[in-house]
Copies of this chain bind each other. A is one copy, B any other.
Amino acid sequence: MALYVLKFGGTSVGSVERIQAVAQRVKRYRDQGHQVAVVVSAMSGETNRLVALAKDINEQPMTRELDVLLSTGEQVTIALLSMALMTIGVPATSMTGDQIRMMTDSTHSKARIMDIDEQAVMSVLNGGKVAVIAGFQGRDEQGNITTLGRGGSDTSAVAMAAALKADECRIYTDVDGVYTTDPRVEPNARKMDTITFEEMLELASLGAKVLQIRSVEFAGKYNVPLRVLSSFQDEGEGTLITFEEQDMEAPLVSGIAFNRDEARLSILGVPDQPNVAASVLLPIGKADIDVDMIIQNSVGDNTADFTFTVHRNDYARATEVLEQVSADLGAREVRGNDKIAKISVVGVGMKSHVGVASTMFESLGNEGINIQLISTSEIKISVVVEEKYLELAVRTLHSAFKLEQTA
């Protein structure tokens, strides 16, 4: 007997029929004698419907009330799934974020989990029932409803698995595992049986949409065995995210991630001084805009050029802030481009090998793809290119690193 936390996303619970299919899947776990906590998202389309209602009232809905509104989406799903389970003879109890005491900070719409009181869930499980838990939502100390932000249900599931010391957290999704890159862009993409936590973290953060990055971080922090599987297939073991050290035979590069959600901003000719980076980035941070890649060039004439990327949705606002910064600092010019794409090669094998960067730059260069920005970490190299080259760049790199071949 094992204890599983299963997570089903919006597509997997998108209709009554699909909810009933999820109930059947949960029943199979129970028939094998396992204890099961199920974490679910809102039915697909529901969150968008609710957001549209809010935006009819105010283009920028107040976040506390938006959380009250959006959290109803998951609450509907837990009630329906619990009914579906009981209807096929599986005892079940629905639980809201408040009822499982998913305590978060008070950052509405982007709350961070502080603590979970696992006792409430354990007493349901030990009572022989399935706990059907609303993902994405929590409450703060004052009892306000909070949400973890879009995709937060993955994080809820992993956090719950950590709190319950579950044997495995299984994320059911609309793909059957983690691929070397997006098969819609590169038909030769290959499903991986395992991937390391570090690689998954880079892939998630780089826009591979399989798992939400915070859920992967959580899994790493609490050593939660995490598996991605398909909701719509009965076969297949999906992809297990492992925490073992990679052996030496491991492939140099595991996957190619990409992301079209970014925009590039540059402030040129900033008078060079010790705190120039802070002077530029603090106002951006205060405007609640997340910055991704950051590059600073000091070009020798006592001025510095500073470039960074932000989410494309924040581009207009970031430009505004930066114009003000430019005026304040006496910089020469602000430039930007929101027609860019970021492409990254990821692999723990890189740690012990050289030559990945040169292979990457060379193969892109051979295709005439100009690289605008480069940033590197221990296990990934990211480049920014013009958006129109995205598909070509992904296929070029997938082939250059022979990812279509099994390791």
Residues of chain A in range 40-95 having any CB-CB distance to chain B below 8 Å: 50, 53-54, 56-58, 61-62, 64-66, 68-69, 71-72, 75-76, 78-80, 82-84, 86-87, 93-94
Query: By the criterion CB–CB under 8 Å, are A56 and B16 in contact?
Result: yes
Is there an interface contact between B53 and A76, defined as CB atoms closer than 8 Å? Answer: yes
Closest to A49 in B: B76
**Chain B residue contacts of A71, Cβ below 8 A:** 75
Q: Which of B72, B83, B98, B144 is close to A57, meaning CB atoms less than 8 Å apart?
A: B83
Q: Are B62 and A80 in contact (CB under 8 A)?
A: no
A50 touches B65 (CB 8 A): no
List the B side residues contacting A76 at CB < 8 Å: 50, 53, 69, 72
The residue of chain B having its C-beta at the shortest distance from the C-beta of A75 within the complex is B72
Quick check: is A19 within 8 A (CB to CB) of the other chain?
Answer: yes
On whether A61 and B75 interact (CB within 8 A), knowing A16-B56, A53-B16, A68-B96, the answer reads: no
Q: Given the interface contacts A69-B76, A72-B72, A72-B75, does A82 sit within 8 Å of B53 by beta carbon?
A: no
Tell which of B19, B57, B86, B145 touches A80, judged by Cβ atoms closer than 8 Å. B57
| Complex: A71 Cα to B134 Cα, angstroms | 14
Knowing A79-B69, A82-B62, A83-B65 touch, does A57 contact B19 (C-beta < 8 A)? yes
Find out whether the CB atom of A68 lies under 8 angstroms from the CB atom of B75: yes
A58 vs B85: C-alpha distance in the bound complex, in angstroms? 10
- The distance in angstroms between the C-alpha atoms of A72 and B78, with both chains bound, is 11
Q: Which residues of B contact A94 (CB under 8 A)?
A: 64-65, 68
In the complex, whether A20 has a CB less than 8 A from a CB of chain B is yes
**11 more A-B residue pairs beyond the given contacts A58-B84, A64-B93, A66-B83, with a C-beta to C-beta distance below 8 A:** A50-B76, A53-B76, A53-B80, A57-B83, A57-B84, A58-B86, A58-B87, A65-B82, A68-B79, A75-B75, A99-B144
Q: Which residues in A have some Cβ–Cβ distance to B below 8 Å?
A: 16, 19-20, 50, 53-54, 56-58, 61-62, 64-66, 68-69, 71-72, 75-76, 78-80, 82-84, 86-87, 93-94, 96, 98-99, 143-145
Q: Which 8 A-B pairs have the closest CB atoms?
A: A69-B79, A72-B72, A68-B79, A16-B56, A65-B79, A65-B82, A58-B87, A57-B83
